[in-house]
Amino acid sequence: MDIEELMPLQPEGDKKDKKKDSPLVSLEKDLDLYADSIREVAIDIMFEGISSHPIFIAHQHSVSIGEVILNRDELNTNWTIQASTLEEFVEKGIINPEKKVLFLKSYKKPEDFMCVFVIVPEGANFIYYPYKTKRA
């Protein structure tokens, strides 16, 4: 599956002339804000036996994979997060079935890290972002 198939629509108000900070700066801020909710969904996905390998999609567009769990428009943030699984990524051809074992070798413990597939107009990539531990 090509990146264009995942992102059929560009975001509203696309301003290419303005120089902007890296989108990863705003992503980090949103992931910190969303961390508890994302962790809860990851645990639910695993506990309910849906998958042992939850994957979250972070985007600022419309994408055709996973289910929306945190909508940027409703939350007044920069990124929408959708929940998916390794199995859906293989089924949709984003992860090649022959590369699944290689992917699993790099997959980090979902109780400690969120696996995030970040989609930007220039492309997409996986990141592992640690859940922040709460200090008493």
Model-level pTM?
Answer: 0.82
Distance, in Å, from the CA atom of 55 to the CA atom of 86, rounded to the nearest integer, reads 6
93 in a structural domain: yes
- Judged by phi (left if over 0) then psi (alpha if -120 to 50, else beta), residue 52 lies in alpha
80 phi, psi to nearest 5 deg: -95, 140
17 in a structural domain: no
112 in a structural domain: yes
Q: What is the pLDDT of residues 4-54, one digit of tens each?
A: 555 554 444 444 444 456 777 889 999 999 999 999 999 999 999 999 999
68 in a structural domain: yes
Distance, in Å, from the CA atom of 95 to the CA atom of 25, rounded to the nearest integer, reads 26
Helix/strand number for the chain, H first, E second: 5, 5
117 in a structural domain: yes
11 in a structural domain: no
Distance, in Å, from the CA atom of 49 to the CA atom of 58, rounded to the nearest integer, reads 23
% the chain with pLDDT above 90: 72
Do 108 and 115 meet the contact criterion of CB atoms below 8 Å apart? yes
Residue 121 or residue 104, greater confidence: 104
Question: Residue 70's domain spans which residues?
Answer: 22-130
7 in a structural domain: no
135 in a structural domain: no
**Per-residue pLDDT at 5:** 54
Distance, in Å, from the CA atom of 100 to the CA atom of 90, rounded to the nearest integer, reads 8
Structural domains of the chain, count: 1
Q: What is the pLDDT of residues 64-88, one digit of tens each?
A: 999 999 999 999 999 999 999 999 9
**Per-residue pLDDT at 16:** 45
**Per-residue pLDDT at 45:** 97
* Residue that has been written with the tokens 């705003």 in this structure: 26
